[in-house]
Amino acid sequence: MSGMGSGDSSAGSPMNLIRRIEGGRGEFLLFALTPPRLATDGERAQEIADATLARLRPLGLDGLILYDVDGETERNAVERPFPFMPTLDPADYLAHNLGTWQLPVIVYRVVGKYAPDELRAWLSAQDPARLMTVLVGPVSSSATVRTSLRDAHAIRREANPRLLLGGVAIPERHTRRDDEHLRLLAKQDAGCRFFVTQVVYDVNAAKNLISDYHYECRAQGVSPAPFAFTFSVCGSMKTLEFLRWLGVGVPRWIENDLKHASDTLETSYQQALTMAAELIAYCRAREMPFGINVESVSIRRVEIEASVRLARELRGLLRS
């Protein structure tokens, strides 16, 4: 039995997700966390981390995502439905509080928040066998940034070329501008090996984007990178409003069902499950590598528990 520990193929091995993404292969399951609020003291942060990992360990995840939140005041002239709460830095939260998590972690960096030297120092220090990063550009071209996405990509290539890099994919932008697939291919040129979507409520928009992306990959002779499609439950109309504020396209029929539901959270859960099953079937039929990412948008306990339940049910739909 001792020989198995060094094997690549043992389920849950820390290398699994990273090797899979390097090989352009699906079907993986991720769970995305937002770190606790910045004001959280060290002991409480550890309690939250321990409780979170205890919830997530039985799910058979392939990895975690840690989001990097910013105020995004440039996003939208409309008032933010929930007040902005700065959170612990996801890299710090990982280093200080998630040490017992053995599987790969994808840490987001909103690059505009950091000076080039800060980014370089952080990127250099990361272990490519355990960590991947998604570098996120500014939400609008008018945002004030300390480092541009292009510069951040260059820094990653110099500072830690083996550190696997991902990018954000926004189907809604493709609906508006028809060029998101070309932006993704440009990110791939800059080193990206996987993409993570924002929360998907518009399956048609997601299909349009990956369809254009895959046919363009074929035309250019490029191997397609796996997409992780993000799903989330929504327990109230306020959460839905927040998703819209974040730029998530919510079809009318979904909004109608949520608005009239006797149990909004359960209705949303069933919608997410149906949408995920639809995208899984779509990608499989076309041999497009994909994964699923489950995110808890809200910090309400019932919504977190429903997200965990969603991840467990989606695990059953994936071939690992």
Q: Which residue ranges make up the site for a second copy (CB under 8 A)?
A: 202-204, 207-208, 210-212, 215, 218, 251-253, 256-257, 260, 274, 278, 281, 286
Residue 72 Cβ, how far from a second copy at the closest point, in Å?
27
The tokens for 309 are: 């339940």
CA atoms of 188 and 190, how far apart (whole Å): 5
DSSP 17-61: HHHHHHTT---EEEEEEPPPBTT--HHHHHHHHHHHHHHHGGG--
Residue 17 Cβ, how far from a second copy at the closest point, in Å?
27
CA atoms of 129 and 266, how far apart (whole Å): 38
Report the sign of the C-alpha dihedral through residues 274, 278, 284, 285, in that order: positive
> Considering beta carbons, is residue 140 or 223 the nearer one to a second copy?
223
Which 3 state secondary structure label does DSSP give 29?
strand
> Considering beta carbons, is residue 102 or 274 the nearer one to a second copy?
274
> Considering beta carbons, is residue 37 or 207 the nearer one to a second copy?
207
Residue 278 Cβ, how far from a second copy at the closest point, in Å?
7
The pair phi, psi for residue 205, each rounded to 5°, is -65, -40
Residue 250 Cβ, how far from a second copy at the closest point, in Å?
11
Residue 209 Cβ, how far from a second copy at the closest point, in Å?
9
Which 3 state secondary structure label does DSSP give 120?
helix
Pick from 263, 262, 264: nearest CA to 241: 264
> Considering beta carbons, is residue 117 or 179 the nearer one to a second copy?
179
Pick from 134, 118, 194, 129: nearest CA to 162: 129
Residue 252 Cβ, how far from a second copy at the closest point, in Å?
4
> Considering beta carbons, is residue 148 or 211 the nearer one to a second copy?
211
> Considering beta carbons, is residue 278 or 305 the nearer one to a second copy?
278
Residue given tokens 């504020």 in the structure block: 245
Residue 261 Cβ, how far from a second copy at the closest point, in Å?
11
Which 3 state secondary structure label does DSSP give 69?
coil
Distances (CA, A) of 125 to 33, 63, 161: 22, 20, 12
Whether the CB-CB separation of 273 and 310 falls below 8 Å is answered with yes
> Considering beta carbons, is residue 281 or 299 the nearer one to a second copy?
281
